[in-house]
Amino acid sequence: LPAVYSLDGLLVFGLLLVCTCAYLRKVPRLRTWLLSERRGIWGVCHKAAVIGTRLHMVVSVSCLLMAFYVLVGK
Local structure of residue 71 (DSSP, 8 states): I
The single-letter code of the amino acid at 25 is R
Q: How many CB atoms lie within 10 A of CB 32?
A: 9
62: confidence class by pLDDT, cuts 50, 70, 90 = very high
Domain count, the chain: 1
Q: Which residues form the domain of 25?
A: 4-73
58 pLDDT above the threshold of 60 = yes
Contact 15, 63 (CB under 8 A): yes
Global model pTM greater than 0.85: no
1: confidence class by pLDDT, cuts 50, 70, 90 = low
